[in-house]
Amino acid sequence: MRIAVFHPGAMGSRLAAELVAAGHTVSWVPEGRSPASVERAAAAGLLGVAFDDAVGTADVVLASCAPQGAVDIARQVGAAGFTGLYVEANPLSPESLQRAEDAVPEATFVDAGVVGPPPTGGQSPTHLMLSGAAAADVAALWQGTAVTPMVVGAAPGAASAAKSAYALYNKGKAALAVLAFQLAEKHGVTEALTAQTIRGDAGSLQDPALPERLRAVAWRWGPEFDELAATLDDAGLEGDAARALRQVWTKLT
């Protein structure tokens, strides 16, 4: 299969590398991208081409980027007349997901969501949630790789919901841990807080460097919490909870 990836960040480059390992030809568009992106793409074995060539020759487009860029990518690909499989692998709310699907009217749209770290084949698995009529076809692309596809629904939306539910829990507790460290530091009791890491429920508090470490991803996690808030609102749940935690990432950027 010929696959175009937009844009290979820390996760997208590793998903693409597994596709290369599976025998697919994977391209990307280096124009306007950072030196770090160029380095990641080279390490993954991706072919750098112009946008028209990437989309025009692709059987599959994989969109894996920060959520704030997802709909724009879909619009660009749709405007190019793409008619293949479009895999939307960004954490989007139902409204944003629909806008992305509407932007590629001639393509076969598959909703996707990544749960776990970039794939390495280690102890923490990378699950690729998939939903849509062609979800099984997309799952087959990663056959035999370090990515574990999971078809979770027949219609777009199910994969994003599965991803969002886990992200709300996993990244939400990280945001609470950041607040806990900040509160403890404010009152000079950080040692008293970290002394509690002996407890089985300490979780993210076991990493005192967590606030500084997460500063590097806050620019991406903030918009993801915007999407999570909208997803909760759509389900009739407490979107304000995600909106409040979003401020943790806002202040870390």
For residues 111 and 158, is the Cβ–Cβ distance under 8 A? yes
pLDDT at 105 over 80: yes
Instruction: Please give the average per-residue pLDDT across 128-153, as a whole number.
Output: 97
- Cα 26 to Cα 41: distance, rounded to the nearest angstrom: 10
Q: What is the mean pLDDT of residues 63-75?
A: 95
Q: pLDDT category, 124, cuts 50, 70, 90?
A: confident
10: pLDDT strictly greater than 80: yes
Q: Please state the rounded mean pLDDT for residues 44-67.
A: 97
**pLDDT score of 160:** 97
Q: Which of 168, 43, 141, 21 is nearest to 87 (CA)?
A: 141
Strand ranges of the sheet holding 2-6, from the earlier edge strand across to the other edge: 47-48, 25-28, 2-6, 60-63, 85-88, 108-115, 126-131, 147-153
pLDDT of the residue at 203: 87
Tell me whether residue 92 is exposed, middle or buried, using C-beta atoms within 10 angstroms of its C-beta: 0 to 12, 13 to 18, 19 or more. buried
Average the pLDDT over 83-101 and give the result. Answer: 97
Torsion angle in degrees (nearest 10) through CA of 235, 236, 238, 240: 90
CA angle (10, 141, 56) in 5-degree steps: 80
Domain map of the chain by residue range? 2-153, 162-252
Q: Percent of the chain, pLDDT > 70?
A: 100
Q: What is the DSSP letter of 105?
A: T
List CB contacts of 34: < 8 A, sequence separation 6 or more. none
Span 195-207, pLDDT tens digits: 999 998 888 898 8
Mean pLDDT of 144-161: 97
- Distance, in Å, from the CA atom of 46 to the CA atom of 19, rounded to the nearest integer, reads 10
Query: What pTM was estimated for this model as a whole?
Result: 0.94
Average pLDDT rounded to a whole number, residues 136-162: 97
Superfamily, domain 2-153? NAD(P)-binding Rossmann-like Domain (3.40.50.720)
Statement: residue 121 has pLDDT above 80: no
**What fold is seen in the domain 162-252?**
N-(1-d-carboxylethyl)-l-norvaline Dehydrogenase; domain 2 (1.10.1040)
CA 46 to CA 21: how far, in whole Å?
11
Residue 250's closest CA among 166, 178, 184? 178
Q: Which of 10-19, 146-155, 202-211 has the lowest mean pLDDT?
A: 202-211
Helix (H) or strand (E) holding 112: strand 108-115
pLDDT of amino acid 129: 98
Q: pLDDT-derived band of residue 177, with 50, 70 and 90 as boundaries?
A: very high
Q: What percent of the chain has pLDDT over 90?
A: 93
